Structure formats: C-alpha cells, structure tokens
Amino acid sequence: GNFMLAHDYEDFPSDIFTVMMGAGATVTVGDSSTGNQTTYSCTDFLNADMTTKVLISMQIPFAAQQETMMTYKVSERHENAHAYVNASFRMTVDSTLTVTGTPTLAFGGIRAHACRATQTENYLVGKVLSNQNTLTTACNLMASELIPDSGPGDTKYRSQLSVNFFYKFYLSLLPNLPSSLASAATPFERPISTGEINYDTDPIEYPVSEYMPKIDAILQTSGEAHYADDTPVVQGTLYAAFVTSTQASADIESIDPSVALGMPGVVDFVSASDIPGENNVDTNVGVPAAYVEPLFASTSVVYYNQPIGLIVADSQSHADEAAKFVAVKYSNIQTPIVTIQDAINANSFFPEPTPFLSVNTITSGDVETGFSSSDQVFEGVVESPSQYHFHMETHQCVVAPEEDGRLVMHISTQWPASVQSLVSRVLAMPLSRITVGLKRTGGGYGAKILRSGIVGCAASVAAHKLNRPVRLIMNLNQNMEIQGKRHPYLTTYKIGVLNSGKVQALQLMYYSNGGATYDASMGSMNMALTTADNTYYFPNFSASGKCCRTNLPSNTYTRAPGCLP
Ligand SMILES: Cc1cc2nc3c(=O)[nH]c(=O)nc-3n(C[C@H](O)[C@H](O)[C@H](O)COP(=O)(O)OP(=O)(O)OC[C@H]3O[C@@H](n4cnc5c(N)ncnc54)[C@H](O)[C@@H]3O)c2cc1C
C-alpha cells in the first residue's frame, strides 16, 4: 500500500519507497487483464502504468560482502509525521576504504518522487574515503545536483539535510573517528521522555491558585475512565441503529422494513407508531406545530439522514447492516434549501412566535445619524462556516427496563434533566420512573446539550417496546450525519468612520443557518447579537438577525455559540 501511494501521489514522501530504492529492491507487478508479470526497479515502477495491475511481491537483495546500508529521516516529530527528507544509502567499501562498485544514494523529499544522486554515485566509484578531497567533492556535487523542488519545509534546509545525511553515512564508514566527530556517525538515541509541571503559586493565597489535579485525570489518561458504552452488557441486551432518510425534503409514502426484518439477528423495527406518548423531541417551548422536531419522521422528512426509526438486533453489526435495508418511498420531493443564501432567496426563516423564540435586536444611539456624520461609510459581507464538534465519544445511550417497567439509562449528555423530561414526554411516563445516569461525557462542546435527547428517547422507545436492554451507540458517520453542527453565519455590515479612523456607527444584520428545526438557533442568534460589539464601544450601534430554516440536520450549540470572528 505504501508503495502504491508513492506511485500514485507525487507529494507522498514514502519512507519505505526511499529505503527500498536505496536497498536496490525490485517489485513484481501482475496484470489482471493479461496474467503477465513484470519486474521493475523502484525507479521504473514509478513510471509503470498500474491500471488493472497489482503488486505481487518485492525482492530485497542480500547485502554483499563489505556492503553497508543506512537509512535516515528528519520529520517534525518522531511519531506519525512525514519526512522533510529521508534517505537510504548503500555502499561497498574494501579494507583500503576504496569504494567498489557504484553506491546507491536515494533520497525522498527532494523531488516529487524519490530520486537518486546519480552524479555523486558515479563520482564515488573507486574513490578512497579517507581522502578529505573525496568527502568535500562528493558533498559539493550532491548539493549541486539535489536542488529541492517545492515541498514541505524550506528548500535550503532540505538541501542541507540531504548533504548532512550523506556526511553522517560517510563518517560511519570510517574507522577510528576522532571523538569530536564520533557522535555524527551514530544515530541519535532519544531517551524515554519524562515530564514535570511547576506551579509558581503563592501558598499564602491558598486555596486560591493551589494546584489541584482534575479528579478524573489519572483515570482518563490511563484509559480506565468509563463512558456510557463501557456499561457492562447484560444478558438479553439488544443493539440499535438509526434508519435515516435518503431525501432532504419530501413526503413519506410508505416505510417497509420487511427485508431488514428478515436479515440475520434482526429483532424489530421501531418507528413512530411505537411511540406511546408524543412524537416530539423539541426542547423549545411554543414551537409552531409545523416546526416541531419529531423523534422519528413518519409523514415527511425535512433533512437528509433524518431518523425514521431504529433497527434493533442481536449485535451492532447486524443492526447497522439491516438499517440500510428498510425501504422508504417518498413523494413530493423538493429541491432542498441548503445554504443561507438559498434560504434568503426562498424567504425561509423560523417564525418568532414567543418572546422565548425571538431574535432580540440590540440597538444603542441611532445608526442613521452616525452614518450621516461619518466621513466614510463601508459595507460588506462576512461569512463564517460550520464546524463539527468532534467529541471523541459519540452520542450514545444504554437503557434498561427495570422490574416494573421503569427505565434506567446511562447516556452521554450535557443536560440529563432535559433527556429525562423528553423521554417522559415521548413515553408518556412520569419523570419519577426514569433514571438518567451520567458518569462523564467524553466531550460534548455543546452537541450534547439539546441533541442527546433524540438518542435517549429513541433507545428508550425500543427498550420500552421490547422490554429488553438496548444500546444505541452511534458510530462516527451517523454522529456526523444525523446531528447538527455549529451554525454557519452570513453577516452584512455597514460601518461609518471619521477620516481620523474613529467609528461613528455600526449596523449588523446576521443570518444563521439553523437547519431543519429550531433547536438552538434563537439562543445562538441572541448570543451572536449580544456579543457582536465585542469589547468595542460604538456610539451608534444596531445588530439584528434572522434564523434561516434549511434542509440540514438541526444546527446546535457549539462552544461559544454565536461568538463570531
Ligand atoms: C498518521 C499517519 C502517519 C503516517 N506517517 C508515515 C510516514 O512517516 N512515512 C510513510 O512512509 N508513511 C506514513 N504514513 C502512510 C502509511 O504508511 C501508509 O498509509 C501505509 O503504509 C499504506 O499501506 P497499507 O498497506 O495500509 O495500504 P492501503 O491503505 O491498504 O492501500 C493504499 C493504496 O494502495 C493500494 N494497494 C494496496 N495494496 C496493493 C497491491 N498489492 N497492489 C496494488 N495496489 C495496492 C490500495 O488500493 C490503496 O489505493 C502515515 C499514515 C498515517 C495515517
């Protein structure tokens, strides 16, 4: 695989390829269309057409008598970092320190693909290494023939690195090096790293400024911390996976789970008709009926990947696989509204029915007066994009029915009380019969304030219906597809300034992309407006906003929601 990446991508600085080029390895390639096999040198392999072909084997020659091979690499870090320059050298030197045969001097990170310093290789043939002139001429020749192309790192640095590698190699071939040079010839051994933190605090102020380790620190860094998914699996546990829409704006004609139900390990399909209470996971109060967020879509879908139900099976892989086979028929398929500009064009904004669900315009002074007293007035648009939360722990819930139908759940959430009240509404079950447990969240960044309710409710409906423990552990794909992200914003501004640079007036109009349901759109917008003037004083200021309704998963709180660059 590494060889093929080197073949296909000029900017991939493969270490293995450089090493094998230096070793004089050859590769055998098979052609699936003809059945023929061809053996290439590393250099020729780079130019071979690999269409319909596969790498079958690699031949690495044994070292000859008196042959030495060394490899080198310099990268940003020791682990998980590509080379700035790597090198692989092979040279045969006899007892008189004379180079016999042609050495191989291979480099990566100089040209697009790995290359050889052929002029230097040819020069070295028959030369005596103990002669100072051999070293000087070889290094100069190498510096002149290895001019780095564009690539990572400074070209002068990479050119110097390649010569330095050769210098180290050269010294390693010389016996009885003086002590001042010996360290250059041996590879650098990095000792095991240690760390120490020093707190420059004043004990007189304690407990203020006193060092207090985070309670979980040792557990988390040692990997012993338990998350919802670490809840032990009890007998009879079932595993759930969301079935999601494949249209962003359409009516649902029919939902047919029959194929999925016949697949291995599948126990049930849970959908809106299994909800004993309200099909409503909206956390806002006063949402107009047409905008309420259902737990499972049943009559229409308003975003791609909207949950329609759950497949429940005897294993996660069975549930994941079968979830793809629930057949949903759509009608009245509409072109989705995706961007803020789409929404503005379609006049698609969330209504503001209550003071709680409203955008609160911020004003001070009078912007029109400010503009008329300005020397210059500028107008423009600023856009800020979305952002995925990337919590390491995905949304997940493990829920089990207890003796008399009560539910006990472990869920990753930033708002357990909200999960409890949503489950209560969806199951028409008193709050007192629902226990929400939470040891810790493996990252939330706002995504688990309002959005974890869907996961808790979906798992609870399945557990309640089947009277079995259910684990709903979202995989990373579904986590990114179903759950919303940071609200993108588009802001128009008009600013009036004096020629001295003093601002007279600032008028802002914010548009956010709320996705398909209200969720945190009004809250984020109001935070945007209240933080819009940042730390500055504008004598005349106005900031207003509109939350766009689009056919995206509902965007949600994300660290410092609405605080825009
Ligand atoms: C964080 C990170 C750090 C890394 N650091 C380095 C580094 O410092 N140095 C370095 O050299 N690499 C580095 N890599 C790259 C890594 O070494 C390669 O991704 C890996 O070697 C690919 O090999 P694979 O066998 O897993 O190939 P795959 O990922 O399985 O395949 C890669 C490609 O080769 C094709 N392929 C695989 N086998 C064959 C075959 N027999 N015939 C034809 N085509 C085939 C595949 O179809 C695919 O297109 C890094 C990768 C990561 C993720």
Domain boundaries, the chain: 2-25+60-185, 229-335+389-482, 340-387+485-548
Q: What pLDDT is attached to residue 565?
A: 59
Compute, in angstroms, the gap from residue 121 CA to the centroid of ligand 1: 30
User: Rounded CA gap, 509 and 381, in Å?
Assistant: 9
Nearest Cα neighbor of 411 from 398, 429, 420, 425 is 398
What gap in Å lies between CA 385 and CA 80, rounded to an integer?
29
Where does 340-387+485-548 sit in CATH, by number? Answer: 3.30.365.10
Which residue is associated with the tokens 């070292």? Answer: 63
Measured distance between the N- and C-terminal CA atoms of the chain, rounded to whole angstroms: 42
Task: Count CB neighbours of 497 within 10 A.
Answer: 17
The Cα 530–Cα 562 span in angstroms is 9
pLDDT of residue 554: 97
* pLDDT given for residue 188 in this prediction: 79
How many whole angstroms from its chain centre is CA 92?
A: 48
472 contacts 504 by C-beta, under 8 angstroms: no
Tally of CB atoms within 10 A around 61: 11
Average pLDDT per 10 consecutive residues for the chain, totaling 565 residues: 93 93 97 95 95 96 95 89 94 97 95 93 97 97 90 86 96 92 86 86 91 90 94 96 98 98 98 98 95 98 98 98 98 98 98 95 97 98 95 97 95 98 98 96 96 98 98 96 96 98 97 97 96 94 98 96 79
Nearest protein Cα to ligand 1, atom 31: 1
Output the CA 79–ligand 1 centroid distance in Å. Answer: 16
> Cβ–Cβ contacts within 10 Å for residue 130, how many?
14
- Sign, CA dihedral 520-526-528-531, equals negative
32: Cα within 13 Å, side-chain hemisphere: 6
Instruction: Say how many Å lie between the CA of residue 3 and the centre of ligand 1.
Output: 7
Ligand 1 nearest-atom number relative to CA 3: 34
Burial of 237 (0-12, 13-18, 19+ CB in 10 A): middle
* Pocket-forming residues, ligand 1, beta carbon under 6 Å: 1-2, 4-5, 14-16, 54-55, 80-82
Alpha helix ranges (H) inside 359-415: 367-372
Q: Which residue from 4, 31, 54, 76 has its CB within 8 A of the most atoms of ligand 1, so it is best to mutate?
A: 4
Ligand 1 nearest atom to the CA of residue 29, by list position: 42
Give the residues across from 208 on adjacent strands.
none
Please tell me the distance from the alpha carbon of residue 266 to that of residue 272, in angstroms, as a whole number.
18
Residue for token pair 């997940």? 396
The residue contributing the CA closest to ligand 1 atom 33 is 1
CA of 350 to the centre of ligand 1 (A): 47
Query: If you measure from the C-alpha of residue 147 to the centroid of ligand 1, how many angstroms do you get, rounded to a whole number?
Result: 27
Q: What phi and psi, each to the nearest 5 degrees, are found at residue 511?
A: -125, 130
Ligand 1 midpoint to CA 28 (Å) = 18
Exposed/middle/buried for 52, CB within 10 Å: 0-12, 13-18, 19+?
exposed
Q: Which helix (H) or strand (E) holds 363?
A: strand 362-364
Strands 250-256 vs 300-301: parallel, antiparallel or unpaired: antiparallel
DSSP run (H or E) holding 545: strand 540-548
Domains 2-25+60-185 and 229-335+389-482 share a fold: no
- Cα dihedral 345, 351, 352, 358 in deg (nearest 10): -50
Amino acid letter, 400: A
| C-alpha 387 to ligand 1 mean position (Å) | 28
The CATH number of 229-335+389-482 is 3.30.365.10
Q: What is the pLDDT at residue 244?
A: 98
Asked if residues 277 and 216 have their Cβ atoms less than 8 Å apart, the reply is: no
Q: What is the pLDDT of residue 423?
A: 98
**Nearest Cα to 495, choosing from 532, 546, 470?**
532
Cα of 270 vs its chain's centroid, Å = 31
Res 5: pLDDT: 95
Residue 423 has, within 13 A of its CA and on its CB side, a CA count of 32
CA 190 centroid distance within chain: 31
Both tokens of residue 336? 């989705």
Q: Which atom of ligand 1 is nearest to the CA of 16?
A: 11
Beta bridge mates, 510? 491, 545
Atom of ligand 1 nearest to the CA of 80: 3
Which of ligand 1's atoms lies nearest the C-alpha of 15? 11
Ligand 1 atom with the smallest distance to the CA of 6 is 11
Would you call 176 exposed, middle or buried from its count of C-beta atoms within 10 A (0-12, 13-18, 19+)? exposed
- Predicted confidence at residue 150, as pLDDT, reads 66
CA of 6 to the centre of ligand 1 (A): 9
Q: Which atom of ligand 1 is nearest to the CA of 75?
A: 8
> What proportion of the chain, given as a percentage, has pLDDT over 70?
99
Domain 2-25+60-185, CATH 3.30.1310.10 — does that match? no
User: Which residue's CA is the closest to the ligand 1 atom numbered 3?
Assistant: 80
Determine which residue's CA is closest to atom 46 belonging to ligand 1: 1
